[in-house]
Amino acid sequence: MALLIGLLVVGVILGYALRNQRLFVGGAAKLVTLAVYLLLFTLGISIGGDKAIFDLLPELGLKSVVLTVGAIGGTVVAAWAFGRFVVGLPQKWKEMVIAPEVEEVIEEVVEEEITHLKEHED
């Protein structure tokens, strides 16, 4: 447990020290997303490999399906509402969703970010 707390403290200190480095923060966000996906995948493997869980599925039945679908649906609705009404989408994200040439928009955003970073480096 001390190791976990120590890693968290070191991460907070490193994040604080590098908070103005957009590439570092963006890379950390992608790494966190990848780690969450990996954890969900390994959790799925663990559940799929547990014979006891599959033996209980007929007993759990419709209640478990309703609870699962409700939880997922509620999470999606809450995330949508939060993004729509609390955070709002940046203009570039809206353009990416609407634009048929998504790759061109992504390239434009990346070029703008690189230009912005180079301006602040000097």
| Residue pLDDT, tens place only, 45-61 | 887 888 887 777 777 77
Which DSSP string do the residues of 49-105 spell out, in sequence order? T-HHHHHHHHHHHHHHHHHHHHHHHHHHHHHHHIIIIII---HHHHHHHH-S-HHHH
Q: How many CB atoms lie within 10 A of CB 118?
A: 9
Query: pLDDT tens for residues 62-75?
Result: 787 788 889 999 99
Phi, psi (rounded to 5 degrees) for 68: -65, -50
CA–CA gap between residue 8 and residue 6 (Å, rounded): 5
Q: Is the pTM of this model over 0.75?
A: no
